[in-house]
Amino acid sequence: MPECKTIACVNQKGGTGKSATATNLGIGLAQHGKQVLIIDCDSQASQTISLGWPQPDELPVTLATLLANQMERRPCDPREAILHHAEGVDLLPSSIELSGLELRMVNVMSRETMLKRLVDQLRPGYDFIVLDCPPTLGMITINALAAADSVIVPVQPEYLSVIGMTQLFDTVAQVQQQINPGLQVEGVLITLANMRTNLAKNSVEIIRSAYGGHVRIYSEPIPLSVKVKEASAAGKSIFAYENGGKAATAYECLVREVLRDARERRPDLHAARKDKSER
């Protein structure tokens, strides 16, 4: 795969497994021989913490540092911020500073594409870049959608999560129309699923009937598993923590589907980028 593909894990609702999905998707792709960068776009820094850096606010350079340098027109190399995880992925970490920076971005020219400019500098070194987005539809999430080639939506099989998807897809459509015409919805991933309950079964059916005709619903739900949380607390992926378990098997299915889609959509992605460059 000669070109880098950037995937944003997005849902404005918290607690849907975005960080766990970004971690295990990224490390799963690395296990298939891909060069992968995970970018933590959330000021809570859950991604950074779960990959083994429990004091993100003490890191010398983070995403907030790079964006602040860009706002103040100071030269910066985004590679200065990159950390290397033992399981073969790179991480561009976050910190609480990102929260205050988001408020400052409102008054900046071309504020929606600040993250894209950083991502474009990093693309040549990677096959995949995975963006772990905050649980809002604020300026940082808009930046992530502007920088991404596609979107994965982790969603819990419960009523309120399903309702919130409409707002998310409206936001994605607006970004497609106004900022990033090449953006695609990669798929909807059912997460934290206890498929033994009627609530989960009914919610999955609602998701499939409401959205299955428009977007991919990934075939294998990610089961509700304490092992995923334990893996995050240990700074590891589910593959390193409980390889062969149900959650690891489900995430491996996601990785394989993403790889297959990347192979199939590569010509479309190249055409979309060429079209944007000619505008």
What are the domain boundaries of the chain?
Answer: 5-278
What's CA 68's distance to the chain center, in Å?
22
Candidate from 56-70, 143-157, 264-278 with smallest mean pLDDT: 264-278
* 223-244 tens-digit pLDDT: 999 999 999 999 999 999 999 9
* Share of residues in the chain with pLDDT > 90 (%): 70
**Cα distances (Å, whole numbers) of residue 245 to 32, 166, 218:** 18, 33, 19
* Side-chain-side CA neighbours of residue 235 (13 Å): 12
pLDDT at 267: 54
* 196-213 tens-digit pLDDT: 888 888 888 888 888 888
Is residue 159 predicted with pLDDT exceeding 90? no
Closest to 119 measured CA to CA, from 262, 18, 269, 4: 4
At residue 52 the predicted structure's pLDDT band, cuts being 50, 70 and 90, is very high
pLDDT at 279: 47
> 5-278 is classed in which CATH architecture?
3-Layer(aba) Sandwich (3.40)
Tell me the whole-structure pTM to 2 decimals. Answer: 0.91
